[in-house]
Amino acid sequence: MRKPYNTLLLLLTVLLVTAQCTPKYTLEHLPTKHLRFGFGGGITGETTTWTLLPNGQLFKTTGLRNETLEWKKHSRRKARQLFQEAEALTLLERPTFSHPGNLYRFVEWTEGERSQRITWGSRDHPVDGAVEGLYVKLIELTEAKRK
């Protein structure tokens, strides 16, 4: 009778250990694909940059203090959805779009050695609605409490 329980216990242990084996990154050691987004400008010129990784890790960096914090980790499923949406926008294939205003927002997609940043804020140059929609979903991730 004990053998089935021991086998089940071993199987559950292996599953739990495997589930926890997602790589943990730092801003100094990033995966080849990652999303950066944020905002800045105004009187102080401070920039807040968020970095989302495919495993769900989220980092916050503030410009003037250059302080980086690991924020709440999100599920890989949620991160994968946002990465798929960013890939569908083919950001790397888009022409450069850099039209900041006094206050600006940005989304930056990095894949290997290639990177494309889209910056907007000027009322004279509105950004594509799909990029704005992705930005809104990304910013919603930041509303969770710090890790």
CATH number, domain with residue 135: 3.30.1560
pLDDT of residue 135: 97
Average pLDDT, the chain: 86
Is 35 within 8 Å of 82 (Cβ atoms)?
A: yes
Closest listed residue to residue 46, CA positions, set 110, 98, 104: 104
Tens digit of pLDDT for each residue in 57-83? 999 999 877 788 888 888 999 999 999
Predicted TM-score of the model (pTM): 0.81
pLDDT of residue 72: 81
User: Is a pLDDT exceeding 70 seen at residue 93?
Assistant: yes
Residue 62 lies in a domain: yes
Residue 130 lies in a domain: yes
Residue 101 lies in a domain: yes
The total domain count for the chain is 1
Can you list the pairs that 35-38 forms with residues at least 24 positions away whose Cβ atoms lie under 8 Å? 35/82, 35/83, 35/86, 35/107, 35/108, 35/109, 35/110, 35/138, 36/106, 36/107, 36/108, 36/110, 36/117, 37/105, 37/106, 37/107, 37/108, 37/135, 37/138, 37/139, 38/105, 38/106
- Give the residue numbers spanning the domain of 122: 24-141
Range with lowest mean pLDDT among 6-10, 62-66, 100-104, 130-134: 6-10
pLDDT of residue 66: 79
Residue 118 lies in a domain: yes
Residue 17 lies in a domain: no
Residue 5 lies in a domain: no
Residue 15 lies in a domain: no
pLDDT of residue 145: 57
Residue 6 lies in a domain: no
User: Is a pLDDT exceeding 60 seen at residue 21?
Assistant: no
Neighbouring CB atoms inside 10 A of 116's CB total: 18
pLDDT > 70: percent of the chain: 82
User: Is a pLDDT exceeding 70 seen at residue 10?
Assistant: no
